[in-house]
Structure 1
């Protein structure tokens, strides 16, 4: 008779584990500016009399700068540790956010773009850092999977709470207050996560190891990144489609309601996914959840009314968090030793660039051809599924790592 027991995998047990709630809360609060700043930039520019298009462009610059820097920051974390990268990045990001209202008030485009770009490039890699620390908090694979599912599921709260907080602050105090709040929340949340024992242990483990020279190489990672980019494309295109629906039907609440319902579905799906062990390898689970995500988007091709569309998006939302969680788990199995932070950075970059591409293409295409609106989100999901299906037979995708 074995004396060993299996650790419980309920979310209550996960959150009651040492450091888990603190790491999750700190990371969510520290990343809340990611949901605040893009909206705050648009409102700041328009409040200063600038065009909406300029606000949208600067918001996109911030998001792209943040995404493009992720692999570099991930590799630096692999080499120098979490604290030495996220700590300075948090301070520089907060400084940039505090300077942004001043830069916009000067009316100098170069100054504005420079400050926005600096703030975006210095966004602290808290998401990557959290996922590097989960194995230290949960050595048991089942608990680690549940923690990752909980972590991934709650990410949508950033993009729900962030814009709502900005709207409230702008209404009461003006756009400057939104940037001041983001500059406080980011470092505050980061400090909560970075001062934990797992963060210090991870720092010691990173600096005592070595990072392989050269480029990150793994035959299986490229299709994973490409598939995640397709999912990101879907998210960007869906947001623009929601705006188009609101304009054509005179329903201004749709751009807020549709993403909220989609994010709520994602939260529910992620929590369900993390409650039990599912059959198959991480790659198989990624393929299955990507398939469900794609299938859930197909009813939107019937060009439903705004109200029906808002209800229908909950179905693909159920598969979003499980698909992203499976992508991170698959990346962990395929990344070379000592390069996991960089691999996570590339995964986040793929999601961000796909989102930007979906937003950029969906705007003009949906305005010119309204029927294209619901087709573009389905096209991104279909591309993601096709990449995974075509690469499913590669032996590299089945290489396990304990």
Structure 2
């Protein structure tokens, strides 16, 4: 298993590119916490705090396809630098805003979210241009796995800074991390010679239907986005159930531990998946992610009342094993389906789809918990995940529209020449 990772990170500049692309995304999971504490400190209202935090999220979702399309047509280093400056400036103004002007935080957050540096779009569009075959599969698995760590580290960092120095400091620190990550990624791209946009690269030859029109008109891409929305809704629903159940037990601190166990299972599964040979089987992984949650239904109230939450932890760990492998497979599939010169836009739509999934999960899961307890909430999350798994069958059957190499095909070309030339000897 480790051989795949050794060969992957033997590719020149690849470790630096992955590292900085992840640092640029580190703040995302913690920013809602910092903003919530900041605004709640101004107004004493968590409803208003949620409105401001939600505006930042909505701006990020709305701007995803726009930022992705810009990444397809503009030099990546300049786009990251400009986005970092505007995004950082917007968050800095938010952190310094007087409490009496709290109402201005809503439109400010909405506009600021649109300018989130497109690190994920640029990185995910780059991997098919510099890697092929098993190495590309390993990269998507490694990225999905390490992103699970970001969802743990980001909130912990925000909570630590907020606890010590308050909401303003929390927003300021995460803003600095975001800007440093985006600028570091720009520097890494320039050093690796991958600053040219895909539209200027050799692999951007015109393809039927890929040069104009909406990507949402492509059945395969639309299926991928719908699947991701449902899958994220299911995963987010499980997290919300853990929070609600922990509060019912009178020990809210258990929520963080149980969610960490769920994420740990995903980490292990992602590491294993990245070392496997052969193309990923998306439906198998998607159904495993859905079925893994089923046992929780009979372990939670009102169906059962376990004496300790620790008894549920092993089930959560097993349920998490298929998460990162599924996310890696679906991300790779989207990269295959999208035209090479529009991959950034496609991954921008993926950001929007993921945000939509989170937005759907919160009210639906909350209503189910109120109506039927934690078990009903998990049942709803399982239904979302099963629906996503059913769509994965259609995704797997969809053929790329001649827009790029299939997994295991000839090496794609990048802006500096054939990507295969960057691989170590003997790489697939």
Does TM, scored on the shorter chain, surpass 0.5?
yes
Q: Which residue of 1 aligns with 2:100?
A: 106
Runs (4+) of structure 1 exceeding 4 A deviation are: 197-200, 390-400
Tell whether the 8 Å contact from 1:234 to 1:358 is kept in structure 2 after alignment.
yes
Q: Which residue of 1 aligns with 2:235?
A: 235
Q: Which residue of 1 aligns with 2:285?
A: 289
- Return the match for 2:379 from 375, 381, 387: 375
Q: Which residue of 1 aligns with 2:56?
A: 62
Q: Which residue of 2 aligns with 1:4?
A: none
Q: Which residue of 1 aligns with 2:142?
A: 150
1:280-319 alignment to 2 at 5 Å?
Answer: 282=280, 285-304=281-300, 305=306, 306-319=309-322
Tell whether the 8 Å contact from 2:286 to 2:326 is kept in structure 1 after alignment.
yes
- Return the match for 2:31 from 20, 25, 37: 37
Shift, 1:394, TM fit: 5.2
- In structure 2, the gaps of 5 or more residues are 205-209, 301-305, 410-428
Q: Structure 2: how far apart are the matches of 1:395 and 1:173?
A: 52
Q: 1:251 to 1:277 in 2, by over 3 A?
A: same
- In structure 1, the gaps of 5 or more residues are 1-7
- CA RMSD after TM alignment: 2.4
- Return the match for 1:171 from 158, 163, 185: 163
Q: 1:63 to 1:175 in 2, by over 3 A?
A: same
Q: Structure 2: how far apart are the matches of 1:363 and 1:50?
A: 23
Q: 1:198 to 1:65 in 2, by over 3 A?
A: same
Tell whether the 8 Å contact from 2:31 to 2:174 is kept in structure 1 after alignment.
yes
1:3-402 alignment to 2 at 5 Å?
Answer: 9-103=3-97, 105-109=99-103, 111-136=104-129, 138-197=130-189, 201-206=193-198, 208=200, 212-216=211-215, 217-279=217-279, 282=280, 285-304=281-300, 305=306, 306-370=309-373, 371-389=375-393, 401=406, 402=409
Tell whether the 8 Å contact from 2:283 to 2:392 is kept in structure 1 after alignment.
yes
Q: Structure 1: how far apart are the matches of 2:342 and 2:153?
A: 33
Shift, 1:197, TM fit: 4.5
Shift, 1:290, TM fit: 0.3
Q: Structure 2: how far apart are the matches of 1:310 and 1:88?
A: 44
Q: 1:62 to 1:238 in 2, by over 3 A?
A: farther
SS in 1 for 2:89: helix
Tell whether the 8 Å contact from 2:158 to 2:174 is kept in structure 1 after alignment.
no
Shift, 1:164, TM fit: 1.2
Q: Structure 2: how far apart are the matches of 1:66 and 1:336?
A: 23
Q: 1:390 to 1:142 in 2, by over 3 A?
A: closer
Q: Structure 2: how far apart are the matches of 1:270 and 1:198?
A: 29
Shift, 1:36, TM fit: 1.7
Q: Structure 1: how far apart are the matches of 2:27 and 2:395?
A: 36
Number of equivalenced pairs = 389
CA displacement, residues 243-270 of structure 1 (integer Å, 9 cap, x when unaligned): 2101211121122112211111111111
Q: 1:192 to 1:393 in 2, by over 3 A?
A: closer
Shift, 1:311, TM fit: 2.9
Range with bigger deviation, 217-226 or 95-104: 95-104
Tell whether the 8 Å contact from 1:81 to 1:207 is kept in structure 2 after alignment.
no
Tell whether the 8 Å contact from 2:337 to 2:399 is kept in structure 1 after alignment.
no
What TM-score does the superposition give when structure 2 sets the normalisation length? 0.84
SS in 2 for 1:48: helix
Q: Structure 2: how far apart are the matches of 1:33 and 1:351?
A: 17
Q: Which residue of 1 aligns with 2:418?
A: none
Q: Structure 2: how far apart are the matches of 1:348 and 1:85?
A: 18
Q: 1:398 to 1:243 in 2, by over 3 A?
A: farther
Range with bigger deviation, 387-396 or 140-149: 387-396
- Give the structure with the higher percent helix: 1
Q: Structure 1: how far apart are the matches of 2:31 and 2:321?
A: 27
Q: Structure 2: how far apart are the matches of 1:391 and 1:155?
A: 23
Tell whether the 8 Å contact from 1:30 to 1:185 is kept in structure 2 after alignment.
yes
